[in-house]
Amino acid sequence: MVKTMESTGLRLVGTRAPGVTARKRRQKVLMAVTILPAVLMIVAFFGVPALQAVILSVSRWSGVGDPTLVGADNYVTVLSSPLFYASLVRTLLYAAATSLGITLIATFLAAAVSSGVAGSRFYRVIWFAPAVAPAAAVGVFWSTAFQPRIGTVNAILGGLGLGDDHAWLARTDTAIYVLIFVSIWGGVGFAFLLLLGGMEQIPLSVYEAARIDGASALRQFFSITLPLVRPVLAITATLQLIWAFNGFTLVWGLTKGGPAESTLTLPVLVYKEGFQFFRFGEASTVAVIAGVILIVIGFFAMRLSQSQQGDK
């Protein structure tokens, strides 16, 4: 009997058995068919609206009738508008301050809970509670709380002898700080849970070894905890930045972008341009530009996170 490679079960290096190739092809087809509905959903509910926004950004439309293509007119108008640049800078600063505040506070809280401070189980719930409150309700609550004479904050300050007529939301130089405060208050809970999860993944043996070597709790935090949760920190900070940048409900509920546009962030500007002034073309232009900025920020954040993981 002549022996062939097939009859002996041998094959050339780099080739697969015929049955294996067909099976892998079937698997690929199956996977493609399986994820196709999800891809279609993403295209339908994200891709198409995004494309429509881009088309609208090069159109003039008042919300009634058909849009009219105007080329780059909207982009020229928006990119030469001082209001747009002021709003952009304000939004970036607001988002950065909110993200930084949330990340710092959440890190501190997570470190405290993961170290087993008394009442940890209670704190896990109570510090997460603001995160589940609807943003509109949070806006209404804090808007009233910061009112002079009738607000909770002023009542507490009045009780402490610090006066009860502070009108932070009515002043152009202080309204933005109220926004940042409320945003941090609402965002700390979720970030706290993320970071707590990351910290609790660190093996206890690492801390024990550090303790044996004489490292203080503070030294352990900066030399062990922070470096090991850095990827989670990066993701948390990036997400909070994006969410604050895109945040509309809280700003609208508290100040509607006022007084005197001192809290006019890009999402509020988009809303006003579209739904108050019925300039949907320019509103879409602002939205597209904001989206591009966020994509760039997200890209660099991902690269930074990946490079840090690569270093490890």
Q: Applying CB under 8 A, which residues contact another protein?
A: 27, 30-31, 33-38, 40-41, 44, 62-65, 143-144, 146-150, 165, 167-172, 175, 255-262, 271, 275-278
* CA distance readout (Å), 242 to 18, 32, 153, 187, 239: 49, 31, 29, 12, 5
User: Is the Cβ of residue 222 or residue 278 nearer to another protein in the bound state?
Assistant: 278
Question: 3-state DSSP call for residue 291?
Answer: helix
Question: 3-state DSSP call for residue 263?
Answer: coil
User: Is the Cβ of residue 65 or residue 71 nearer to another protein in the bound state?
Assistant: 65
* Contact indicator for 178, 209 with CB cutoff of 8 Å: no
Question: 3-state DSSP call for residue 25?
Answer: helix
Token representation of residue 48? 């198409």
* Contact indicator for 155, 196 with CB cutoff of 8 Å: no
Q: What is the DSSP code (8-state) at residue 169? A: G
For residue 178, the cross-strand partners are none
Token representation of residue 65? 């009738």
User: Is the Cβ of residue 19 or residue 214 nearer to another protein in the bound state?
Assistant: 19
Closest approach of another protein to the CB of residue 259, in Å? 4
Closest approach of another protein to the CB of residue 262, in Å? 8
Closest approach of another protein to the CB of residue 88, in Å? 18
Closest approach of another protein to the CB of residue 14, in Å? 19
Ranges of beta strands (E only) in 4-105 are 59-60, 68-69
Instruction: List, in order, residues 6 or more apart from 133 with CB less than 8 Å away.
Output: 186
User: Is the Cβ of residue 189 or residue 281 nearer to another protein in the bound state?
Assistant: 281
Q: Give the residue from 178, 170, 181, 175 showing the smallest Cα distance to 148.
A: 170
Closest approach of another protein to the CB of residue 6, in Å? 13
* CA distance readout (Å), 269 to 4, 88, 173: 75, 10, 19
User: Is the Cβ of residue 38 or residue 125 nearer to another protein in the bound state?
Assistant: 38
Closest approach of another protein to the CB of residue 168, in Å? 7
User: Is the Cβ of residue 258 or residue 291 nearer to another protein in the bound state?
Assistant: 258
User: Is the Cβ of residue 131 or residue 145 nearer to another protein in the bound state?
Assistant: 145
Token representation of residue 85? 């640049």
- Which residue is it, tokens 């920190």? 233
Closest approach of another protein to the CB of residue 201, in Å? 23
Ranges of beta strands (E only) in the chain are 59-60, 68-69
User: Is the Cβ of residue 153 or residue 233 nearer to another protein in the bound state?
Assistant: 153
Closest approach of another protein to the CB of residue 105, in Å? 25
